[in-house]
Structure 1
Amino acid sequence: MVAEAQLKNAVPTDQEMIDFMVREARLIDQQRFDEWLDLYADDAFYWTPLEWDQTDPRLTCSLMYEDKLLLSIRVERLKGARTFSQKPTSRCHHVLQTPQVDSRNPAANNYVTWTPMHHIETRMDEQTLYAAWATHHLSVENGRLKIKLRRVDLINCDAAFGNIQLFM
């Protein structure tokens, strides 16, 4: 198991943030969900808007808007022996473009990255491709990058979807 590296400085470099984004996708692809969940701050949210250019997850329905507690429940469900909807388990693969650092505010401990990606989810004979942009709001806690908000904007967010089982 590869441990998340401590940051060399209190202020992360662009490369450290890019490496963090790539590592997050790898943890999802390898179904290392407990390690993935540990990348999130205790007050973090994971958000997938339902509408194009949606600005508030509380005033409009979302495909997903979950705090860390709900994410941990989803992780437990994915690992559960009695989760029959995951027999056989869903698998996924991320294809990322190089993440970009959109903003850095060390004084506020706030960093924002943007990553264009394709996410392929497969289970049995069914394979679904999602094209999206992931925006991460990060902070540094105890010398480690933590996700405060992960927003996944699907290009076709207003399409009819089946069950999305895994994290994008």
Structure 2
Amino acid sequence: MSTPTNQQLIDFVVAEANLLDELRFDDWLALFTEDGRYWMPLAHGQTDPRLHASLMFEDKLLLKVRIERLHGARTFSQQPTSRCHHLLQQPVVTARDDVAGTYTCRTAFHYVESRRDTQTLYAGWATHTLVWQGDALRIQLKRVDLVNCDAAFGNIQLFM
């Protein structure tokens, strides 16, 4: 097993956001472990997605279904296609366990989702729990904490 440097962990997080901005959702999904999760808490400081409601708590299968919907010819909410842009602060490696092969990065972000004449701005922090599998890093958990997580939202079409 190889041990990634902090710079490799940071580069992984930045590359992951670039895949989303390029709408390369299948490549993005491939970054997740088989038991990977995408979590967007509904409350500040939320510690358990199973005991409390969340904006999103999706496993790899549900992420795949959402991606298939985004690609669908009959998905009228995506005609024209939504676009997005991540503006990331420098990711910070907040924890690393080289023996277990697990790493945590936290990144402050501004995210814009755009479709037709509407642009929606979100701000928050993404926390990536990364694991070393085989010869590559994979996402075990991506947690997206929005600054205004308890606000009323319209449809969030893409992934932050």
Q: TM-score, length-normalised on structure 1?
A: 0.94
Aligned partners of 2:105, 2:152: CA distance in 1, in Å? Answer: 28
Match of 1:33 among 18, 25, 28: 25
SS at match of 1:45: strand
2:96 maps to which residue? 104
Aligned partners of 1:16, 1:101: CA distance in 2, in Å? Answer: 10
Aligned partners of 1:129, 1:166: CA distance in 2, in Å? Answer: 13
- 1:141 aligns to 2:129 (yes or no): no
1:6 maps to which residue? none
List alignment gaps of at least 5 residues for structure 1: 1-8
User: 1:108 offset after TM fit, Å?
Assistant: 1.6
Task: Supply the AA of the counterpart residue of 1:167.
Answer: F
List alignment gaps of at least 5 residues for structure 2: none
SS at match of 1:108: coil
SS at match of 1:15: helix
Q: How do 1:126-165 residues align onto structure 2 when only pairs under 5 Å count?
A: 126-165=118-157
- Cα offsets for 1:100-126 (capped at 9, x unmatched): 000110112210000000000011111
Match of 2:82 among 74, 85, 90: 90
Aligned partners of 1:108, 1:20: CA distance in 2, in Å? Answer: 18
RMSD of the TM alignment (CA)? Answer: 0.7
Task: Calculate percent identity across the aligned residue pairs.
Answer: 61
Number of residue pairs matched? 160
Q: How do 1:69-80 residues align onto structure 2 when only pairs under 5 Å count?
A: 69-80=61-72
User: 1:158 offset after TM fit, Å?
Assistant: 0.5
Aligned partners of 2:2, 2:75: CA distance in 1, in Å? Answer: 41
